[in-house]
Amino acid sequence: MKDSRSSNGTGGHSRRAFLKGTSAAAAATAFATGAGAVVAAEADSKVVGPGATPVTLNINGKDYELKVEPRMTLLEVLRWQLDLTGAKPVSVDASSGAATVIIDGKPAAANTTLAVACAGKKIQTVESLGGAKPDPVATAFVHHDGMQCGFCTPGFVVSVRAFLDKNPKATEQEIRAGLNSNLCRCGTYANVIQAALEVVKGGARG
Amino acid sequence: MAKAKYNWPARGTASIIGKQQDRVDGLAKATGAAKYSYDINPANVLLARALGCPLAHCNIKGMDFTAAEKVPGVVKVAAMKKKGDEIRWQGDPLVVVVGTCEGAVAEGLKAIKLDLEPLPVFVTDEDLDAAEKAGRSGGGGGNTQLENEAPEGEDEAKFADKEIERLLKESAAVVDGYYGIDVITHMCLEPHGSTCEWNGKQLTAHLSTQNVSGTASQYAGPLEITADEVTIHCDYIGGGFGSKFQVDTWGVVAAQLAKDIGRPVKLMLDRDVELKTAGCRPSGYIKVRVGADKDGVVKVWDSHHWGTNGSTPGGIDQGVIPYVFNPANRRRKRTTIVTNASPTRAWRAPNHPQACAMSQTAYDDIAAKLGLDSYDVFLRNLPSVSNKKAELYAEEMKVAAKLMDWKAKWHAHGKGPAKGSVVSGLGMAIHTWGGGGQAGGCLVRIHPDGGVEVSMGSQDLGTGTRTVINMIAAETFGLPVEAVTVNIGSSKYPRASASGGSVTVAGVSEATRRGTQDSLRKLCELVGKKLDVDPATLVAQKGRIFVEGKADKGVSWKEACSLLGMTPQEVKGEFQRADENHLSSSQVGGVQMAEVEVDKDTGIIRMKKFVAVQDMGLIINPRGATSQIYGAVIMGIAAALFEQRIMDPTSGAFLNAEIADYKLPRLGDIGEIVVELYEPDSEYERGVVGLGEPPAISPCAAISNAVCNALGVRVPVLPMIPSRVLDALKKARTA
């Protein structure tokens, strides 16, 4: 049996993104433990903080002028400052997929991504897949009942959206191999597979 | 025959009930619009987190919050335990830190200084001898039933010894087996907790609960207010599975802190404390001797089982061993073991999945020993089932075998063809559960403009409660589903039962049907008067109320409602279990079959196909019912192959209390799952029976049996992780 979390090239999360996420988590820990130095996130060498610092985040096509502490994750900012609570806090790392958002077209775990590192990037949350004209992935999840308690569902919907953007003609086998970054406890996987297949077939009721 | 006052549509006549219905709150869940307790953000809300005890067993000598209180952003540090308290498991919450953001609270938690005196630890619940030596085992009862009575004057226990030895000796096959299943945790993806806010003396607790109508008083007592001053609010709950009936100590603390600070407080457990404290299922291990005749019919069962409920005595109820089957001669003994682990909580079909995994495996080993087809052995033992559903099981076995293509795929245990190092196998199990609806009520309000509302203090664990209520109300009133508003999730609505024991759908269905039928009768009195017809001749269909058989003699729904004048019509729907004329029933069966592939070199098991045949009385929403069964099966796959609580035997530390370390199946791990809703007329006529738990019972035994059929070797303890598979193969080779 394959390691269900390993990337096989068609997966939603690449290994590189996972490693980036890990380093962001480590940085967040460094702040939380009161380390004096401020570590700039990822490759950006600009030093900010340690207090709240102004940042502009482009979320779902809209610019938000925010003040965030450099240690704050994107998830914390989305949920606490913007009340965008679709992405969920489930795991300390990226292992549940419940906080999946799309950053510059690629899936990312909002809980292991620092908010300040997202300046200048386009962030898409699950809320952008709703509204008056919901995304076909969301409607396919409804039609195939790809949810029970629903707590993992927004993250799953975003992952499926990102996966199908990259693999629009995915087969059932590819779907089973490539959507293993999201954890569901209620056991909705069987229906999620059907929902993803329906979107591939273009049969989703938009 | 006169129609009963309350009834379901005759089979085949319903327009909504029994049809595939999308979940009415599905889009809200799929697009992040659904607000869970974790998502409720009142103005000025503060974040609180609990610090779990780092030791598994200790006395508290002291706790110093000085440094924590100085952390910028920390608003308050509050003790949940006091000096001198004995802590009995790792992760028991000791202190709560309230602050303005995650970082501040995390720093505050790290700055707390604890002075703890370690005490002896015991966590190895599988090791009965060690438990006895450590003084952690206790009597758990037992009983014996025998066909023959002890002769007058003979000691009953001694007679039982002799009888059981005689019966075993006379058996064509005897299995002397050992089976077990480890503790697993609930792992609700939304952890336990609440967001609490006060308005004067009124508390609103946005509580993640499966008990909306039953938790207000749990706040009221400790906070010295009365239950009327508490509102429990829970529109959506991110998983419960039996672990969220209580407010819990941290719930009361959140409310108290919100009051003391004068700001709303959100206290959700973090993953570590959640897994260590807020819900796990008892383990079970069994030594058993089973004797059967040459056809595999079990004649005698003699078992001793043990397990742990954590820090309080308990374990698997002996009343369900052996599971479903009840041979004429059986002796069972139970030992309870106390460990340094959190107390267990109800878990989807308490006792049953473990009992099934500990006993229907032994039945399967009888088949292996005699070289018989497991299907035939299960079939031949059906006359002894304790719930009198032998015929139902036989029918369901036929259906399942066809879907699995059992006969074509069957081979004797360990005798199948191998593809390299990979062998495949089949296994099955059967289960039973109650699932009867509990007493409850609803309020049915019809507005003069035609609007319809049904309100009930129930909750939706993921079952689709809103959808079920909505479908039934729409059916009764002859309206589309969209025309009805369903309000659940507030303790201010009429009382409904907690969602436990698979009682929700039966309970809300019965209350809703009664309430809406009464409501329609009342409305029909007005319509009857207007049309000058007997109200009893009126029916509501397709948005109209008209004389049955005369579609033109009637009024539109809106016109009918306008007869109410200015005031909405309110009718209370209510029922008690003792009421006559039930629209619901209890007791279900169910048969499941698993097909697996096992790699003998790596010990890795892959699910190939799984078939679940399930009866549940009358089915309201087949789509929702199918989802429940998929979910139950996938949870069963988790417990059979992946998940276990791993404890360090020396320190008692719970080693894998994070999602990355607590292994669960992912989307690629489930294989093909085939669900068959078994609903012959005899089931439809029984009314509604709950479904949440029963299909979660059989998977562990069915998968274990399939693995044994593939390998010809039993992997005795679940989950069957690769190392255990390899150990079992090695043991068999050296035996």
B604 in reach of chain A (CB within 8 A): yes
Q: Are residues B374 and B517 in the same domain?
A: no
What is the distance between the alpha carbons of residues B150 and B158, in angstroms, rounded to a whole number? 9
Q: Examine residue B445 and state whether it is found in any structural domain, yes or no.
A: yes
Instruction: Please list every residue in chain B whose beta carbon sits closer than 8 Å to the beta carbon of residue A153.
Output: 29-30
Give tens-digit pLDDT for B188-242. 999 999 999 999 999 999 999 999 999 999 999 999 999 999 999 999 999 999 9
Residue finishing a domain among B229, B246, B268: B268
Domain that holds residue B449: 26-34+437-575
A130: helix, strand or coil = coil
Q: Are B687 and B508 in contact (CB under 8 A)?
A: no
Q: Are B338 and B394 in contact (CB under 8 A)?
A: no
Environment class of A169 (CB within 10 Å of its CB; exposed 0-12, middle 13-18, buried 19+): exposed
Give the CATH number for residue B651.
3.30.365.10
Band of residue A204 on the pLDDT scale cut at 50, 70, 90:
low
Instruction: Please list every residue in chain B whose beta carbon sits closer than 8 Å to the beta carbon of residue A76.
Output: 101-102
Closest alpha carbon within chain B to A151? B238
Which of these, B263, B189, B288, B195, lies nearest to B235 by C-alpha position? Answer: B195
Q: Are B37 and B237 in contact (CB under 8 A)?
A: yes
Instruction: Please list every residue in chain B whose beta carbon sits closer than 8 Å to the beta carbon of residue A72.
Output: 101-103
Bridge-based pairing of strands B298-308 and B329-337 is parallel
Tokens of A72: 């704050």
Give tens-digit pLDDT for A107-116. 999 999 999 9
Bridge-based pairing of strands A62-68 and A53-59 is antiparallel
Q: Examine residue B420 and state whether it is found in any structural domain, yes or no.
A: yes
Chain A / chain B CB contacts < 8 angstroms: 211
Q: Are residues B608 and B571 in the same domain?
A: no
Instruction: Please list every residue in chain A whose beta carbon sits closer than 8 Å to the beta carbon of residue B664.
Output: 183, 185
Nearest to B667 among A131, A147, A189 (CB): A189
Q: A8 pLDDT exceeds 50?
A: no
Residue B236 and residue A185: Cβ atoms within 8 Å? no
Q: Give the position of tokens 């996966």.
A: A163
**pLDDT for the residue B437:** 83
Closest alpha carbon within chain B to A98? B189
Give tens-digit pLDDT for A130-148. 999 999 999 999 999 999 9
Q: Are residues B431 and B450 in the same domain?
A: no
What is the distance between the alpha carbons of residues B71 and B336, in angstroms, rounded to a whole number? 45
Taking the CA of residue B668 and the nearest CA in chain A, the distance in Å comes to 5
ipTM confidence score: 0.96
Q: Are residues B626 and B719 in the same domain?
A: yes
B667 in reach of chain A (CB within 8 A): yes
Q: pTM for this structure?
A: 0.94
- Kindly give the parts of chain B with pLDDT less than 70: 1-3, 581
Q: Examine residue B670 and state whether it is found in any structural domain, yes or no.
A: yes
B140 in reach of chain A (CB within 8 A): no
Q: Are residues B449 and B420 in the same domain?
A: no
Sheet holding B550-556, edge to edge: B538-541, B544-547, B550-556
Tokens of B106: 């995390």
**pLDDT for the residue B114:** 98
Number of structural domains chain B divides into: 3
Give tens-digit pLDDT for A43-59. 556 777 788 999 999 99
Residue finishing a domain among B268, B295, B322: B268
Q: Are residues B599 and B665 in the same domain?
A: yes
Q: Are residues B722 and B606 in the same domain?
A: yes
Environment class of B668 (CB within 10 Å of its CB; exposed 0-12, middle 13-18, buried 19+): buried
Give the H/E segment covering residue B519: helix B504-531
Instruction: Please list every residue in chain A whose beta carbon sits closer than 8 Å to the beta carbon of residue B660.
Output: 91, 93, 95
Taking the CA of residue B727 and the nearest CA in chain A, the distance in Å comes to 18
Buried-exposed string B432-457: b where 16+ CB fall within 10 A, e elsewhere: bbbbbbbbbbbbbbbeeebebbbbbb
Q: Are residues B414 and B497 in the same domain?
A: no
Phi, psi for residue B707 in degrees, rounded to 5: -65, -40
Q: Are residues B555 and B594 in the same domain?
A: no
Report all structural domains of chain A as residue ranges with CATH numbers, in order of start.
Answer: 15-127 (3.10.20.30), 129-200 (1.10.150.120)
Q: Examine residue B310 and state whether it is found in any structural domain, yes or no.
A: no
Residue finishing a domain among B225, B246, B268: B268
Q: Examine residue B580 and state whether it is found in any structural domain, yes or no.
A: no
What is the distance between the alpha carbons of residues A56 and A63, in angstroms, rounded to a whole number? 6
Residue B698, number of CB atoms within 10 A of its CB = 35
Q: Examine residue B150 and state whether it is found in any structural domain, yes or no.
A: no
Nearest to A193 among B605, B626, B667 (CB): B667
Instruction: Please list every residue in chain A whose beta carbon sits closer than 8 Å to the beta carbon of residue B236.
Output: 149-151
**pLDDT for the residue A203:** 64
Q: A19 pLDDT exceeds 60?
A: no
Give tens-digit pLDDT for B620-637. 999 999 999 999 999 999
What is the distance between the alpha carbons of residues A40 and B375, in angstroms, rounded to a whole number? 64
Q: Are residues B225 and B264 in the same domain?
A: yes
What is the 8-class DSSP label of residue B385?
B
Nearest to B660 among A73, A91, A154 (CB): A91
Interface of B with A in 702-721 (CB under 8 A): none
Q: Are residues B198 and B108 in the same domain?
A: yes
Q: Examine residue B629 and state whether it is found in any structural domain, yes or no.
A: yes
Q: Are residues B375 and B477 in the same domain?
A: no
Residue B32 and residue A85: Cβ atoms within 8 Å? yes
What is the 8-class DSSP label of residue A78?
I
For the CA atoms of A78, B249, B696, B658, the dihedral, rounded to the nearest 10 degrees, stands at 50
Give tens-digit pLDDT for A55-97. 999 999 999 999 999 999 999 999 999 999 999 999 999 999 9
Instruction: Please list every residue in chain B whose beta carbon sits closer than 8 Å to the beta carbon of residue A31.
Output: 103
Residue B31 and residue A188: Cβ atoms within 8 Å? no
What is the distance between the alpha carbons of residues B143 and B145, in angstroms, rounded to a whole number? 7
What is the distance between the alpha carbons of residues B657 and B271, in angstroms, rounded to a whole number? 7
What is the distance between the alpha carbons of residues B486 and B705, in angstroms, rounded to a whole number? 44
Q: Examine residue B561 and state whether it is found in any structural domain, yes or no.
A: yes
